[in-house]
Amino acid sequence: MSDITVNTPAIPAQSARSAPLTAVGPIAWMRANLFSGWLSTAVTLVCGYLIIRAVMGFVDWAFINAIWSVPVDGRGIAQTQACRDLHGTGACWAVVTEKHRFMLFGTYPYEQHWRPALVCILFVALYIVSAMRRFWNWTLVPIWIGTLTAIGILMWGGVFGLPYVPQERWGGLPITLILATFGLAFAFPLSILVALGRRSNLPAIKVLCVVYVELIRGVPLISLLFMASVMFPLFLPEGMNIDKLLRAQIAIILFAGAYLAEVVRAGLQSLPKGQYEAADAMGLSYWQKTGFIILPQALRTVIPPLVNTFIGFFKDTSLVLIIGIFDLLTAGKTAIVEPAWQGFGIEVYVFVGLIYLVFCFAMSKYSAGLEADLNKHRRR
Amino acid sequence: MSAAIETDGHIASAVRTDAPPAIVLDKVNKWFGALHVLRDVNLQVATGERVVVCGPSGSGKSTMIRCINRLETHQEGRILVDGIELSDDLRALDAIRREVGMVFQSFNLFPHLTILENCTLAPIWVRKMPKKQAEELAMEYLTRVRIPEQAAKYPGQLSGGQQQRVAIARALCMKPKIMLFDEPTSALDPEMIKEVLDTMVMLADTGMTMIVVTHEMGFARQVADRVVFMDRGEVVEVGTPDQVFNDPKTDRLKMFLSQILRGH
């Protein structure tokens, strides 16, 4: 577009050739990074030996010496003598085989387990649909309302011929997913409002938001959960009772909201002043400016710490075990209380850990993709 | 000074004396903390008039034009834009910002929106224009600043000169009555200054009321009806380009002119 022509003397171009294999191939990489001198060679060999030993030990324990199932006698008690005879040289996956339904669904009536199973599938489907950018519009609202209603009906029952299941009997993975989903779905919008409020020109709003964030951040989640479960009912009028799960849920929302608000505020802080000024100069209103210019840019910038916090809170929901809510981890712990299975904690925790890992890793991978996708405009 | 604009002829003045003044600054004072940045600034800009504001850095020229659309607030005096007084009344402010376009030194395009979206955002949401109509309008102005082919790109993919021309088109899409330019070429490489100045000359030719803060003396000679020289928050001299550049009255202006001439 420039009208200026640049007169540069023609430089005879060398014919481009690819770099030699010894400079860029895997052998060159290994020579440069692993065997560049006697010290690095020694470190490489020692580390290599330790890694191979550890992997082989794990494979032996987890697969080769492992026992996958044990006989169950007529009274429904598992015969775990074979597992005990291993003396820890092999994993007793039989505990997972036998107890996985209890770990996943807790004390939910056994013959109704298809309901929480379906709930978990619905949750995962909801995550997948919400993750697709094609659905990032108003259609998500009815999808969420519809799915959450279906989840409520399935869990409680009492209609459509489904037997009623009181909330005290819910447990396992659905509880974890309920706490995490509602927690983050409410905490995230709350955090945006709080972050905006902290930068507001209105002193009352600003003070309110600062007090909220500092108060909640200064208290451990565990004590908040205790307050929600023990202290909160004392303030309620006689006869009025909000159920325990809901109270824990509110505590988690408030806690996550405060942390996320600081992450969002960091994003708001990172925007150059010129963006605000340009939007003001064009006559956009506060909410137009915030919705179209400020938040889209601020939130993109903070995707990594945002997802970091999301993942942290997904796992922190397991803290509800201290107030006796039967989430996935509590169910796992309870599964090995039975005398026959005592002493097989590692296998259970590996199994529970894997479930957490699947969800967290999915979040992490998705956010990496989203980040690359949404920040396309930054690349030239 | 960039020699981009030759002073081969002043473009025709479009000053309309029959219309009320577009902008009135009446004894405007402003402080940043203890620093007195605008001191009793008086200025009237007629409809269709083109005013160039120059002066050393820190002289308050940017602050003055930023007060006109209230990106900065003045503390004493009155500012009237298109007959409306600037005050804490938000409705009046909205009305003024709709009519006043602004071009910044650092472009301030929205990096997450395409060029076309940058141009259509305000017409759609502030002017309540249908999307299709806003896009047609945006393409018209992008064509006028000679970059219609970049409409689908993001600002980061354009050169500085192209970005500044988009910023001009974006402001024009609001169909403003007044355009403010805050050192529009200061952040540009020398070879891109000309393309932006050419766009501004073209705009001046349409009879737009313009206030331009710039050091481009060639542009001032070609386009300005009046040149305002500011120093230390005061309006020191006002006159035609000829009077100000060729016949400076004050020592401060003489010194400023000798510095910018020596500097180039």
pLDDT digits 0-9 by tens, A285-312 = 999 999 999 999 999 889 889 989 999 9
H/E element, A147: helix A140-156
**B110 close to A (CB below 8 A):** yes
**B102 close to A (CB below 8 A):** yes
H/E element, B30: strand B23-32
Nearest CB among B125, B156, B191 relative to A284 is that of B125
B179 has a pLDDT exceeding 50: yes
- For A112, other C-beta atoms within 10 Å of its C-beta total 17
Task: Retrieve residue A336's tokens.
Answer: 């090995």
Region A267-275 average pLDDT = 92
d(CA B186, CA B54): 13
**B108 close to A (CB below 8 A):** yes
Model pLDDT, residue A165: 81
| β-pair type (B50-54, B209-213) | parallel
Taking contacts as CB-CB distances below 8 angstroms, the residues of chain A near B104 are: 274, 277-278
What residue in A sits closest to B67 (Cα-Cα)?
A281
B171 has a pLDDT exceeding 90: yes
Output the CA torsion A150→A151→A152→A153 (10° steps): 50
Model pLDDT, residue A258: 92
Contact A278 B71 (CB under 8 A): no
For all residues of chain A together, what is the average pLDDT? Answer: 83
A240: Cβ contacts below 8 Å, ≥ 6 apart: none
Region A146-151 average pLDDT = 88
List the 127-156 stretch of B: residues with Cβ below 8 A of A.
Answer: 146-147, 154-156
B4 has a pLDDT exceeding 60: no
pLDDT digits 0-9 by tens, A169-216 = 888 888 889 999 999 889 999 999 999 999 888 899 999 999 999 999
Q: Tell me the whole-structure pTM to 2 decimals.
A: 0.82
Contact predicate A317/A251, CB 8 Å: no
Interface test with chain A among B96, B125, B181, by most A beta carbons within 10 Å: B125
Contact A284 B126 (CB under 8 A): yes
**A275 close to B (CB below 8 A):** yes
d(CA A217, CA A232): 19
H-helix segments, A66-171: 81-85, 94-105, 114-131, 140-156
For all residues of chain B together, what is the average pLDDT? Answer: 88
List the 17-46 stretch of B: residues with Cβ below 8 A of A.
Answer: none
Taking contacts as CB-CB distances below 8 angstroms, the residues of chain A near B145 are: none
Task: Write the ipTM.
Answer: 0.89
Looking at residue A35, what DSSP letter applies? S
Nearest CB among B69, B157, B192 relative to A281 is that of B69
